[in-house]
Structure formats: structure tokens, C-alpha cells
Amino acid sequence: MAEKKAPEEVQKDKSMLQQKTMLADHAERLAHAKEAGTKVVYTFVPGNLTELILAAGAIPVYPEINALQSGMRKLSAEYIQEAERFGHSEDVCTYVKCDIGMMLKGNIGPTGEKLPEPDLLLLSYTGCFVFMKWFENLKRHYNCPCVMLHVPYQADGEVTPAMLQYVTDQLEQEVIPALEKVTGNKLDREELRAKMALSRAAEDNLVWALQSAKQRPSPIDAYFAGVYYIGPMFTAFRGTAAAVEYYRLLREEIEGKIARGEGPTTPEGIMEKERFRLVMEGPPNWTSFRDFWKIFHEEGAVIVASSYTKVGGLYDLGFRHDPDRPLESLAEYCLGCYTNLNLPSRVSLLKKYIEDYSADGFVINSIKSCNSFSAGQLLMMRELEEQTGVPGGFIESDLVDPRYYSQANIKNRLESYFQMVAQRRASKGAMNAETSA
């Protein structure tokens, strides 16, 4: 059994350290992009077209990732205040305000390197209206071209052939020409196929890693550690050999944990006893990420599946990027992002997770400034409780605005919730014993 770590001594798996190196290399490439003549494309995580950007010879920047990293590094409060002084109201998505505040203060990225200005804004619109307003603001500030990929919302819970064709046509007729114009290069279609083959290999191991949480005890926390696991896949590394290697290493690491019967690695060591298995809906709070996680791991609560780790792609339902149908599969990918799913589809996905991962309950972290996730969550909670019979917990916080995170309130609520889950489980156990007696 691993020793508990002193609070300041954070336990990190090898894969986490490798990811840190990958991110540092990417920050370095970005810092020198202008002098190297490499074009920079800003884009969003849901519906990102990373393979296409890389195959065109450009480098991607993801404003949401900068915002969440600023939150984790305690820089977001200052950036948000700067954006509010500039005129953005308190109700605006705090990722947007954090990004705009960072830009107004010189665009020094979370690693301390200045971020290059965009040569192109690639607005992949997948279900959240804020994406459009965000890039409208950036376009005005940077005075650079913006190309929009309009992805139809899955309002009826399905992707029709016409929807697929509509997105594929835009990729061919709008997005690729815009990338070619900015980079001055004709898109290398063979390079795109090769990158998509690498994506597929990495995706297989990501899915394996997330599904390892079906084991008892779960070897991973699919939310708090899961957000690190999705990092390379949802950002600049999809379609690269580095991502394939990262996910191979992650799988090897988890296989080792399963063989040893070990629980998830938390910042304070390996969790010793799994008491609760939970499904999580909603993004995490980033400004107090470690304290937030601590409330769960101190109670022996493991998140075995979460919707947030699907925000940049729903691979566990079978989707893979396909080198033989590159544009069609990019279109399928964008249409299938979690942000593009209607409420009934979200409910059935969470229900499937509760059942497939044998969860004792589910928790909704309702994010004050993210309507894309939080709208309808109380209704979803009621539906899920009715359909699964397991109890739901509801807490409220924010992404990167520390004014909306209260450790004491959230801890109180969760402690009561854990007690309720334990009581329900005990009375269910007693009923089962009576029935079989």
C-alpha cells in the first residue's frame, strides 16, 4: 500500500510527467512560431480539427485550455476582472472572460511564454452559442480572418446523411481553402490520412483507459485523473506519434495497477479503499481543482465515468477517426461531441454509464457560467433518478472564477450526499437479504 504523501508532495504517474513534457514542447513551438514562419490557428476543443490543422502545416491554440490552465495556476481571477473592467458582464462564460483578460494583459500564456497572435480563427461551432460570440470578439481584437464550420445540433438525437454531407462540404469548400490561403500550402491529403491513422491508434487506448474504471476497484478516477487523460487527445496532439506513445504508456500504467489491485492515484497517494462509485456530469472547477478532488478521495468516492471527459469527442460509443474517409469522419466527429447532444441523449448516455460502470449514484457539478452544460441539469437529474433508481447529488461552482467556488458549502453538500448513498445501499442490502431469506 502506498504511503500518504505530505500535502505539498503531489504524486504523479509517469504518463502525467510525459504529458507535462509534451505541453512544454508545444508551448516552446508556439513561442517561436512567428520567427519560424509557422501559422497559428486558434480553435475550440469540441469539434477540433487538429489533424487538418497539423496536416496544413499550422499549429493550433485552444483558448479554453489556456483559460483552464490559468485557473489552475490561480491567474484567472485577475484576467476575469480585467475583462469585466473592459465591459464584459458578470454573467458571461468565465472561459471567455479569462481568455479576453489574458489577451488584454499581453497574452502571456499559462506557462509564462507569450502566445503568438492567430493567423486564422477556426470556429468549429458544436452546440454552444458562446463559441460564436467568443471568436467574434477575438476577430475584432486581432483583425484576422475567421472561418466557421457550422455543425448542425443533434436536436432529434441523430445524425442524418444530409447533416453529414453538409459538414463534409463545408470542410472541403470553406475550411480547407481558408487553411490553404493562410499557410500558402496545398493541403497534403496523404499526410492527413497518416495523421488520422495515428489518431485512431491513440483513441483505442484512450477508450481502453477510460473503460478500465469498470473494474472493482477502479484503477483510475475517470474524472479528476480523466481530465489529464483526455489532454493530449482533445488538444494539439491528436494525430501525432507523441499521442500514440502517451496512450500506450497510460495503458501500460493502468494494466500494472489492475494487476496489483490498486485504486486510483490521487495527489496524496493511492486511494486505499473504494467506498463509492459515482458518475459525474458537468465540468470540474479548476481554481480549486485539488481541494475539490480531495472531498471525493477522502471519502473513498471514485468517479468511474463522466460526461466532461467526452466534451472533445465521444469515442467510447465506437467512433474512431478513419483514414479511409478523412473528411467524413472529421464531420462525424464534430457532430458527435457531447456539447452537440440534446438533453435526452445526454440523459441516456449518463444512464448507460451508471449501469455499465455499476455506479452507486451520480453527481452534477452545475457550472454557473456554462449554460451549454448547466441548462436543464435539474431536469436531467430527476429523469436519471427515475430511470436508474440511484440517488443524484447537485452542487454548484464555476470553471475559473474563484468567486463562485465555496469549499465549505460543496463539502457539506457532498458529505450529506455520501451519507444518503451509504444509507440507500445499506437498506437495499437489507431488503435483498430479506428477499433471499
Residue 287 C-beta: closest distance to ligand SF4, Å: 14
Q: What is the DSSP string of 394-430?
A: EEEE-SS-GGG--HHHHHHHHHHHHHHHHHHHHHHHH
Residue 206 C-beta: closest distance to ligand SF4, Å: 21
d(CA 16, CA 307): 21
Asked, as a colleague might, if the bond just before 116 is cis with ω within 30 of 0, I would say no
Select from 316, 393, 309 the least CA-distant residue to 359. Answer: 393
Side-chain-facing half-sphere of 310: CA atoms under 13 Å: 28
Contact 106, 23 (CB under 8 A): no
d(CA 321, CA 319): 7
Pair type for strands 269-270 and 265-266? antiparallel
Residue 152 C-beta: closest distance to ligand SF4, Å: 17
Which CB atom, from 69 or from 339, has the smaller least distance to ligand SF4?
A: 339
3-state percent breakdown (helix, strand, coil) of the chain, nearest 5: 55, 10, 35
d(CA 223, CA 302): 9
Which CB atom, from 199 or from 372, has the smaller least distance to ligand SF4?
A: 372
- Dihedral of alpha carbons 27, 30, 35, 38, sign: positive
Q: Which amino acid is at 162?
A: A
Residue 231 C-beta: closest distance to ligand SF4, Å: 16
Which CB atom, from 170 or from 340, has the smaller least distance to ligand SF4?
A: 340
d(CA 72, CA 329): 33
d(CA 283, CA 292): 12
Name the site residues for ligand SF4 (rule: CB under 6 A).
93, 95, 128, 130-131, 339, 370-373, 399
Which CB atom, from 263 or from 282, has the smaller least distance to ligand SF4?
A: 282
Contact 291, 210 (CB under 8 A): no
Query: Cα separations (Å) of 93 from 96, 120, 299, 394?
Result: 6, 22, 31, 20
Residue 158 C-beta: closest distance to ligand SF4, Å: 22
Which CB atom, from 134 or from 296, has the smaller least distance to ligand SF4?
A: 134
Contact 220, 254 (CB under 8 A): yes
Which CB atom, from 99 or from 203, has the smaller least distance to ligand SF4?
A: 99
d(CA 79, CA 113): 16
Which CB atom, from 67 or from 254, has the smaller least distance to ligand SF4?
A: 67
Residue 70 C-beta: closest distance to ligand SF4, Å: 14
Residue 50 C-beta: closest distance to ligand SF4, Å: 17
Which CB atom, from 168 or from 372, has the smaller least distance to ligand SF4?
A: 372
Residue 88 C-beta: closest distance to ligand SF4, Å: 12
Which CB atom, from 198 or from 364, has the smaller least distance to ligand SF4?
A: 364
Residue 93 C-beta: closest distance to ligand SF4, Å: 3
